[in-house]
Amino acid sequence: MDNSRKITLSESEIPTHWYNIVHDMPNKPLPPLNPGTGEPIGPEALMPLFPMELIKQEVSQEKYIEIPDQVRDVYSMWRPTPMFRARNLEKMLDTPAKIYYKFEGVSPSGSHKPNTAVPQAYYNAQEGVKRITTETGAGQWGSALSFACQMFGIECDVHMVRISFDQKPYRKMMMQTWGANVYPSPSERTEAGRQVLAKDPDTPGSLGIAISEAVEGAAMSETTKYSLGSVLNHVLMHQTVIGLESIKQLEKAGADLPDYVFAPFGGGSNFAGISFPFVHLNLTEGKNIQCIASEPTSAPKLTRGVFRYDFGDTVGMTPLIPMYTLGHDFVPAKIHAGGLRYHGAGAIVSQLLADGLIGAEAIDQIESFEAGVMFARAEGIVPAPEANHAIASVIRAANAAKEAGESKTILFNMCGHGNFDMLAYQDYFAGNLEKHEMTQEEVDAAVAKIESPTIDSVKEMLANMG
Ligand SMILES: *Cc1c(COP(=O)(O)O)cnc(C)c1O
């Protein structure tokens, strides 16, 4: 038994392949639909927006997809990421549970997001793309993509939600440092932006509007494409380097396979990243590892939403995706974990949840900040507000292990550091955060607005189409 606190791997142990869970899923994710015709969309519909290789990955059922050498080379700037045994936290909780965490905050932009930003920029560069457009809320995704585009000599246009552009300047400056063009959204540069500004010149903006502007920017030019940092199948697959490394690290530490794997959940990418290689062991080797997503009580799509077809964005411009959702025009309360303020979940994680192969629980933001502060005082690292939700789940599980007198092994994903999120901590310490839980009336009203097809009706249509 290895007693070390920090479990590291050498550069040569960076995974050579991403794991594509679709290969092993008993029920494959249902196809996206064209909202106009209600019929499945083919890969060609995505060609104006994404490079061919990413479209292939989006629909692939191959079990492993090779990571290009140039991508592994950029990964080696921070990967393999360290795993830690949270010994101080275990002591503080006086729990018999063993707690391990994988720390993705060592990446240049401070979260897991470069794991997909780097291959996305690489495939775009390979296919001659000169510029990538995207949207960003508080700036985690925009900064990851800005860094990745800089690595491959691509221009990057980031449409940043106006209110964050004004109130959270540090990530904007980070993006500019990596050479990106950052525009407050809505802007005068796009038709979508001009329309919104004509009606409401002082609008704070929204992620939905920013997506419209970024998509419009990509559709305008052959050599400009669009990029998304969560939800899509290829994004989730790129993140599996987290879980693949974790399995090696637990082995190296002489640890048991975990009883629980926790990660915070926005659209599902970092949860998929750490958990899918463990779900793989459940599906192929009969293991019983419980993989549980921690979502906020103010956007509880997994625990209280419905499994329906719905739009990926607020305005209704994307294809319809089979997802656990609270409705695409549901606007979550303004909690500080900005990365978790999203109405839906990716198609793969949604299917796995429907089939009982993963689990979910909801955490309110007060419990999450209590957990995050406790973690910082024990382990030193100040977590991103998103990560605090998973830490709260870990503490619940560790306390349950103590009560039951059982020594459980727990792994969670520390998906990012919180060094740019000090305003959130300030609000927590000042007592300005509220416990926020949706009422059943609010959930019912949000879900009642969904008009798109049900999962069953689409299954029936597909069966009739043969
Ligand atoms: C974007 C983000 C999330 C949420 O997105 P997922 O796709 O669910 O991982 C969570 N944590 C951090 C730090 C993020 O930047």
Atom 15 of ligand 1, nearest CA residue: 140
What are the pocket residues of ligand 1 if the criterion is a CB atom closer than 6 Å to any ligand atom?
A: 111, 113, 140-141, 230, 264-271, 339-340, 384, 386, 415-416
Atom 14 of ligand 1, nearest CA residue: 339
Confidence of residue 2 (pLDDT cuts 50, 70, 90): low
Q: How far is CA 388 from the centre of its chain?
A: 14
Output the CA–CA distances (angstroms, integers) from residue 16 to 127, 224, 279, 326, in the order listed.
Answer: 22, 29, 19, 37
Atom of ligand 1 nearest to the CA of 111: 13
Atom 5 of ligand 1, nearest CA residue: 266
Q: Which domains does the chain have, with CATH numbers?
A: 6-15+65-108+234-460 (3.40.50.1100), 111-232 (3.40.50.1100)
- Rounded CA-CA distance 33/39 in Å is 5
| d(CA 367, ligand 1 centre) in Å | 19
- Rounded CA-CA distance 343/49 in Å is 22
**Parallel, antiparallel, or unpaired for β 320-325 and 224-226?**
unpaired
Predicted pLDDT of residue 422:
94
Helix (H) or strand (E) holding 456: helix 455-465
- Rounded CA-CA distance 361/297 in Å is 9
pLDDT tens digits for range 100-143: 999 999 999 999 999 999 999 999 999 999 999 999 988 999 99
Atom of ligand 1 nearest to the CA of 113: 15
pLDDT tens digits for range 373-397: 999 999 999 999 999 999 999 999 9
Q: Taking 80 as the threshold, does the pLDDT of residue 3 lie above it?
A: no
- Rounded CA-CA distance 229/53 in Å is 16
pLDDT tens digits for range 229-282: 999 999 999 999 999 999 999 999 999 999 999 999 999 999 999 999 999 999
- In single-letter form, the type of residue at position 55 comes to I
Taking each helix axis as running N to C, give the angle between helix 191-199 and helix 207-219, from 0 to 180 degrees, rounded to the nearest 10.
140
pLDDT tens digits for range 309-320: 999 887 788 899
Mutate to test the pocket of ligand 1, among 147, 174, 230 (most ligand atoms within 8 A of CB): 230
| d(CA 341, ligand 1 centre) in Å | 10
- Rounded CA-CA distance 452/77 in Å is 44
pLDDT tens digits for range 52-96: 999 999 999 999 999 999 999 999 999 999 999 999 999 999 999
Confidence of residue 286 (pLDDT cuts 50, 70, 90): very high
Count of Cβ atoms closer than 10 Å to residue 423 Cβ: 11
**Parallel, antiparallel, or unpaired for β 260-264 and 409-414?**
parallel
Predicted pLDDT of residue 14:
98
- pTM score: 0.97
Confidence of residue 201 (pLDDT cuts 50, 70, 90): very high
| d(CA 196, ligand 1 centre) in Å | 28
| d(CA 106, ligand 1 centre) in Å | 15
Atom 11 of ligand 1, nearest CA residue: 386
Atom of ligand 1 nearest to the CA of 231: 7
